[in-house]
Amino acid sequence: MKFSELGLSQSLLKAIKRSGYEEATPIQEQTIPMVLQGKDVIGQAQTGTGKTASFGLPIIEHVDTDNPNIQAIIISPTRELAIQTQEELYRLGKDKHARVQVVYGGADIRRQIKNLKNHPQILVGTPGRLRDHINRHTVKLDNIKTLVLDEADEMLNMGFLEDIEAIIKETPDDRQTLLYSATMPPEIKKIGEQFMTDPETVRIKAKELTTDLVDQYYVRARDYEKFDIMTRLIDVQDPDLTIVFGRTKRRVDELSRGLKARGYNAAGIHGDLTQDRRTKIMKQFKNGELDILVATDVAARGLDISGVTHVYNYDIPSDPDSYVHRIGRTGRAGHHGVSLTFVTPNEMEYLNEIEKLTRVRMLPLKPPSAEEAFKGQVASAFNDIDELISQDSTDRYMEDAERLLETHDAKNLVAALLNTLTKESAKEVPVKITPERPLPRRRGKRKDYHGGSHYRRNNNNNRRRGNNYRSRGGNRSGSSRDNHGSSHSKRHSFNIRHRKEN
């Protein structure tokens, strides 16, 4: 179903189109009309199904921009999800000038108090920090029209039930309540019975969230090793069109500069770029004038670009939802794609959580050597030369070519051409990428989580191997692996070939 069929205003439809969304997901299709009608809704759907827009669009539709009070509150279990939700709501509500703010633990509360004086109409926050603001009287919920409990089972599992109940009691009785949860344990049902009025229940059947057309791999590496390994993989795999995801704006800037310094045709996009600059870069990428797009999650959310053959997760996402969105950029329209995620030793638990959600086991990949990367570059140069010769535009140079052959050795000429078509050695162009603060290790239940997303452990062993690649998989505690690789069909080296459908 098209978003235009859901009863949304033109300003919102414009924002949706700008974000690259075309058709509503099942949870959006079923819940948006109900929420617009003011009904209480319980949405049962797994992460990665488009829940944020399903409640965000109706909230923005109903916001009174002339009213300075907080009119909607979204309670999220983690800092990362809260930030992500705030950014998406801000982007969708930009044309309507809806003011959206986020509050979470682990950040300067004085700065948050100062920002709250700008009178946000939509507030997103983690339970502990929201309750703190309520106790300080810096957040007042008397005018709340809509309350959203996002990832309710996750908040329950993290021990936030008491905080949630305290926050709900600060809101008007006649509010609209929306509850989203992947599972429905008795405690969640009790919240629905106690705090909701005749809620409509929407259940979206769980399914595999990643396509068989995307081969999913990971490389275990320390942060300072990742850039050199990534460029070697690019040389070996020779992707046609690539998106590299970085966790922060600084990371995106440094990666794009580093790639360009080493001779790759790359550019980066993030929220600090002007709209004109971002539009220009996206146009170049869509037209094939750029080979590599480096982006943050938010900047790339909603991108609909055909022909992306590879996705590199330079930083593993802090929540599985982001991973699903990232690798959804490839493996489209029946074509094969490859996703590769770099994982530092202390981030393996995040990899496991992604696998539990997607029900696909990522296969380990041993990084190629510098020599293998060089052979990959030469193989790519061979193909480039074949394409140049096949263009039938060389006749007018024949006379000059004969003169060159009279004064230079043919091997030296070809070697000079290959040198021009290949890149400088990494040793010749050192690139330093500033280390990012690592994602925190999980430490059991906490009252407020100040770091990356926190996920439940479970015993889901329903794992499926990827295809087209050889791998022993097995023990993940060691870093020694067979020589695995994904290779585009153009590659002659690295002994494994990547299928590409035309």
The rounded distance, in Å, linking the Cα atoms of 115 and 129 is 14
Residue 103 — very low, low, confident or very high, per pLDDT cuts 50/70/90? very high
CA angle 48, 159, 32 (to 5 degrees): 35
Q: In this structure, are residues 147 and 58 in contact, taking their beta carbons and an 8 Å threshold?
A: no
Q: Is the pTM of this model over 0.75?
A: no
Tokens representing residue 126 in the block: 């983690």
Place of tokens 């990827």: 466
Pick the more confident residue, 46 or 406: 406
The rounded distance, in Å, linking the Cα atoms of 76 and 282 is 31
The rounded distance, in Å, linking the Cα atoms of 454 and 446 is 9
Instruction: Give the alpha-carbon dihedral of 101, 104, 110, 116, to 10 degrees.
Output: 20
Eight-class DSSP state of 362: P
Q: Is 154 helix (H, G, I), strand (E, B) or coil?
A: helix
Tokens representing residue 485 in the block: 């690789």
356-379 pLDDT per residue, tens: 888 889 999 988 877 776 676 666
241-292 pLDDT per residue, tens: 999 999 989 999 999 999 999 889 999 998 788 877 887 898 899 888 999 9
Place of tokens 């070996």: 236
Task: List C-alpha distances in Å: 300 to 89, 180, 240, 269, 356.
Answer: 15, 24, 18, 8, 24
Q: Residue 374 contacts by C-beta under 8 Å, 6 or more apart in sequence?
A: 235, 422, 425
Q: Is 178 helix (H, G, I), strand (E, B) or coil?
A: strand
Residue-wise DSSP of 364-409: E-PPPPHHHHHHHHHHHHHHHHHHHHHTS--GGGHHHHHHHHHHS-
Eight-class DSSP state of 424: P
Q: What pLDDT is attached to residue 478? A: 37
Q: What pLDDT is attached to residue 243? A: 95
b/e 288-307 (16+ beta carbons within 10 angstroms → b)? eebbbbbbbbbbbbbbebee
**CB-side neighbour CA atoms (13 Å) of 50:** 20
The overall average pLDDT reported for the chain is 80
Secondary structure of 430-483 in the HEC alphabet? CCCCCCCCCCCCCCCCCCCCCCCCCCCCCCCCCCCECCCCCCCCCCCCCCCCCC
Residue 381 — very low, low, confident or very high, per pLDDT cuts 50/70/90? low
411-469 pLDDT per residue, tens: 777 777 767 666 666 567 888 899 887 777 654 433 343 333 333 333 333 333 333 33
Q: At what angle do helices 127-135 and 109-116 cross, to 10 degrees?
A: 70
The rounded distance, in Å, linking the Cα atoms of 450 and 277 is 33
Tell me which amino acid residue 443 is.
R
Percentages helix, strand, coil for the chain (3-state, rounded to 5) are: 40, 15, 45
Rg of the chain's alpha carbons, rounded to an integer? Answer: 25
Q: In this structure, are residues 235 and 263 in contact, taking their beta carbons and an 8 Å threshold?
A: no
Pick the more confident residue, 398 or 69: 69
List, in sequence order, every residue forming a beta bridge with 100; answer none if it has no partner: 122
**CB-side neighbour CA atoms (13 Å) of 328:** 20
Q: In this structure, are residues 358 and 464 in contact, taking their beta carbons and an 8 Å threshold?
A: no
Eight-class DSSP state of 185: -
The rounded distance, in Å, linking the Cα atoms of 499 and 152 is 41
Residue-wise DSSP of 187-244: HHHHHHHHH-SS-EEEEPPP--SS-TTEEEEEEE--GGGHHHHHHHHHHHH--SSEEE
Pick the more confident residue, 204 or 127: 127
Eight-class DSSP state of 20: T
Name which of 60, 54, 66 is nearest 26 in CA terms. 54
The rounded distance, in Å, linking the Cα atoms of 155 and 241 is 39
Residue-wise DSSP of 293-356: EEE-HHHHTT---TT--EEEESS--SSHHHHHHHHTTSS-TT--EEEEEEE-GGGHHHHHHHHH
**82-96, 136-150, 336-350, 486-500: the lowest-pLDDT one:** 486-500
pLDDT at 400 over 90: no
